Structure 1
Amino acid sequence: MRPPKRSIQAVSTWVRRQPPKVKAFLAVISGMAALVLLRAIVHDHDNLFVAAESVHSIGICVLIYKLMKEKTCAGLSLKSQELTAIFLAARLYCSFVMEYDIHTLLDMATLATTLWVIYMIRFKLRSSYMEDKDNFAHYYVVVPCAVLALLVHPSTSHHIVNRIVWAFCVYLEAVSVLPQLRVMQNTKIVEPFTAHYVFALGVARFLSCAHWVLQVLDSRGHLLVALGYGLWPSMVLISEIVQTFILADFCYYYVKSVFGGQLVLRLPSGVV
């Protein structure tokens, strides 16, 4: 077992010493390699979206276990949970008035559990909430997303309000994890259950992004045309990619920590 660990440590040390541009290049190459692999082994790419929702559900289950068994919400961002509830509520509204399907039921379940987590942090476990560390203001993400939704939204036949709400939930979902990353940046030490939860979000974001990218490739770009015209189709794809890269750095250190046998994740300065 020692040689593989030494090899992984050697590779991680080499990557850590590289300048930011090289790290970004390596991240892009790794992402493209993963997409090629997924395209080869997953024939029905719709399964990637189902897998993304399943991984997200696993992350929420880990979070619920932490709150119920450990009786603490230390290291969790209430603001990230509130932003998640906002975009889920917006997406549910759009599902009911635009295209009701099985994903609507999944979103309802996710929203219900998210509201339960918010309730636990706000009331039951308030004493362990790190309010001073959770200092990323809501309006830093809500206002820009709302403005962007007014400017760039779907060009479908639905009512203009519904189209703007749809765009808003897409943009907000892409950046809703930022307050959670700020909490981890402020504490520098991430306990296991919080790390598992955020890693699950990262995996779910990547699978969702892979679903969209591969669907676009399979349809030879026709999927983007089906979403409408103008900037909106490109913004949907960009939002998926942004979600993935926001969490990429954390996922790298998470995997490095797991292979190193560390139970507590310690983040160096500048991460997330």
Structure 2
Amino acid sequence: MGKRRGVSAVNMVFGWLRQQSNKVKIALGIIISLILVVFLKFTVRNHNHFFIASELIHATGILILIYKLTRQKTCSGLSLKSQEVTAIFLAVRLICSINMEGDIHTVLDFATLVSTLWVIYMIRYKLKASYIKSLDTCYNYYVLVPSAILALVINPSTSYSYFHRILWAFCVYTESVSVLPQLRLMQNAQIIEPFTAHYVFALGIARFLACAHWIIQVVETRGHYLWLLGAGYFWFPVALIAEIVQTFILADFCYYYVKSVMEGQLVLKMPV
């Protein structure tokens, strides 16, 4: 009885949300996100842990894909192009990490890159018959070329070489839009099976944590990073915008994911 009441209450909440305008939904999403950011700020002392958690959750998402590919023997619903873009930015970030950091981030990036390359191999060769190429319609150069151009124009000012600064900026920009081919495929398919949905939801949580780290940095410096715009230093504000863009790109999907899970639906249906 209690479970039914809980489900009924959830349905009422989502029913109310569906009736609201897009402006109201966006406003509510922003408010909830800010509340979560404030909560994280006061509960997590070392904010560098946000990035570590983000990378771990991303790796967890890859493990979900590996389970899907090995147990179900199908790559239906997965975007090969999105995985290729992911592998590219991970490879670039790994190069930068080896030369600039050499810490736990390097290990996590390496593990995630190897796993992603394995997923690409499975989609391209072992499970090629189940790959729906006709739905994977977002070409990689739509993502990579703008990211490369922006990296040449706006990159961090550090003691590292200009080449490494461009690479770092490129991987930040590319990561922010790497999920677009996957979202495009799901939009074309309309119906998303559970493991693919779990994977994309994991990406959404990972990006939110990374975005929270940047926002908290702005708050703790009392907006100093944003004022750098006036000095002609655009890197930090643009990087922050890139994180926010990716978070909002995934926010809509995460809403429907949570809605489906709360309603007990195993298959996620995207709106037309």
TM over 0.5, yes or no? yes
How big is the shift at 1:229?
6.3
Deviation digits for residues 117-161 of structure 1 (CA, Å, limit 9, x no counterpart): 000000000000010000101111111111111111112232222
Question: Could you tell me which residue of structure 2 aligns to residue 242 of structure 1?
Answer: 245
1:253 aligns with 2:259: no
Q: Partner of 2:197 in structure 1?
A: 195
1:129 to 128, 131, 154: 131
What is the TM-score when the length of structure 1 is the normalising length? 0.93
Query: Is structure 2 residue 269 aligned with structure 1 residue 266?
Result: yes
Runs of 5+ consecutive residues of structure 1 not aligned to the other structure: none
The one-character-per-residue Cα deviations of 1:189-222 (angstroms, maximum 9, x if unpaired) are 0001001011011011111111222233234346
Tell me how large the CA RMSD over aligned residues is: 1.7
Match of 2:166 in 1: 164
> Does the aligned pair in 1 maintain the 2:55–2:109 contact within 8 Å?
no
> Structure 1 residues 214-223 or 194-203, which shifts more?
214-223
CA distance in 2 between counterparts of 1:143 and 1:136 reads 13
Give the TM-score of the pair, scaled to structure 2. Answer: 0.93
Match of 2:65 among 46, 63, 66: 63
Please point out which of 184, 187, 212 is paired with 2:186: 184
Letter of the aligned partner of 1:59 in structure 2? G
Tell me the percent identity. 59
Name the structure 1 match of 2:27. Answer: 25
Q: Give the aligned residue type for 1:197.
A: Y
After TM superposition, the structure 1 = structure 2 runs for residues 52-91 of structure 1, keeping only pairs within 5 Å, are 52-91=54-93
SS in 2 for 1:44: coil
User: SS at the partner of 2:134?
Assistant: coil
SS at match of 1:132: helix
CA distance in 2, matches of 1:96, 1:250: 34
Q: Report the CA distance between 1:223 and its aligned residue.
A: 6.4
Decide whether aligned partners of structure 1 residues 240 and 123 sit closer, same or farther in structure 2, where only a CA change above 3 A counts.
Answer: same
Mark the runs of 5 or more structure 2 residues left unpaired by the alignment.
none
Give distance in 2, aligned partners of 1:217 and 1:24. Answer: 22
Instruction: Say yes or no: does 1:114 pair with 2:113.
Output: no
| Structure 1 residues 231-263: Cα deviation after superposition (integer angstroms, max 9, x where no partner) | 001111111111211100000110010110111
> What corresponds to 2:234 in structure 1?
231
Aligned length: 268
- Using the alignment, how far apart are the partners of 2:215 and 2:167 within structure 1? 23
Contact 1:174 1:243 in 2 (8 A): yes
Report what 1:98 is aligned to.
100
- 8 A contact 1:83–1:172 mirrored in 2: yes
8 A Cα contact 2:79 2:136, kept in partner: yes
Task: Report how far residue 224 of structure 1 moved.
Answer: 6.9
Question: Which residue of the partner structure matches residue 52 of structure 2?
Answer: 50
